[in-house]
Amino acid sequence: MQLARVTGTITATAKSAQLVGAKMLICDVTDAHGAIIEAACIAIDTVGAGVGDQVLVVRGSAARMALQANVAPVDAAVIAIVDTITVKAK
C-alpha cells in the first residue's frame, strides 16, 4: 500500500467494458509528511474518495482484488480514505 493525495479525476466515455461505471482518480503518491514521491498515478476509486483526500493506493493484483475482478485492466486502486497519520519523531 502507498499513501497518496487525490489531485483530480478522469472521465473516459470510451473504455474497457470492465471499467464501465468505475470512477478514475489522479493521485500523487506521497510520503507520510505529504512530499510527492510519484506524480499522476491513475487509480480506480473503490471507496468514494474525492479531490483533496489523502488515500491508500494498492497496485497490481491487489488492485484487481479490490475491484473483485481478476480480469479487469487495472494497475492501481484506492482502497481507503485516510483520517489521520501519526509519525513518531526520531
pLDDT per position as a tens digit, 17-70: 888 888 999 999 999 999 999 999 999 999 999 999 999 999 988 888 887 767
Distances (CA, A) of 90 to 35, 42, 87: 18, 33, 9
pLDDT of residue 63: 85
pLDDT band per the 50, 70, 90 thresholds, residue 87: confident
**Residue 33 and residue 87 in contact, taking contact as beta carbons nearer than 8 Å:** yes
Q: What are the start-end ranges of the E strands in the chain?
A: 2-10, 23-30, 36-45, 54-59, 76-81
pLDDT of residue 73: 86
**How much is the pTM?**
0.89
CATH top class, domain 2-81? mainly beta
